[in-house]
Amino acid sequence: MRNLLCAVAVSVCAAGAVGLAQDTKAKTKITVEDGKDVTVVGCVDRSSEGNFRLSHGANKEGSVGSYLLVASGDALDDLKDHLGHRVEIKGKAADKGDGRLKIKTESEVRTNDGDRKKRESTTSVEGALDGLPYLGVKSVRMLASVCP
């Protein structure tokens, strides 16, 4: 987790260093690549940072703990709709040395002169990810409208 936080911090700092300035817009996108295909059941909630998380996760073999959920498009809308629900999620997991996280930050700075400067940075994190594993969401299916 420390490696990931450092990578995100470096990406955001690099993107924001263009102009300590004026008007900055930035967006960061995290994707899970080359992970292990998994199906897990758990509860959709929010982490302390406001990200989606699957808590009380379990698969066929038993308890797997929690995952930070990475989603975009329809999958992100599904997570918003199922906050507080017990769900089955299929996707790619980056944990226990499997998979890789790609962190892409795009920023645009408008200077006092009215000029716009765009910056983009991409960081990859591989190997054993300390802390919570990440799950790139492919599909979400509601099992119950309440969580234990």
pLDDT at 47 over 90: no
- Which residues, 6+ apart, have CB-to-CB distance to 80 below 8 Å? none
Predicted local distance difference test score (pLDDT) of residue 119: 84
How many Å apart are CA 117 and CA 22, to the nearest integer? 12
E strands, the chain, are: 23-33, 36-46, 52-59, 62-70, 86-94, 100-110, 116-126, 134-144
Residue 97 vs residue 105, higher pLDDT: 105
Q: What is the pTM of this model?
A: 0.66
Q: Do the beta carbons of residue 75 and residue 139 sit within 8 Å?
A: yes
Predicted local distance difference test score (pLDDT) of residue 86: 94
Domain ranges of the chain: 2-144
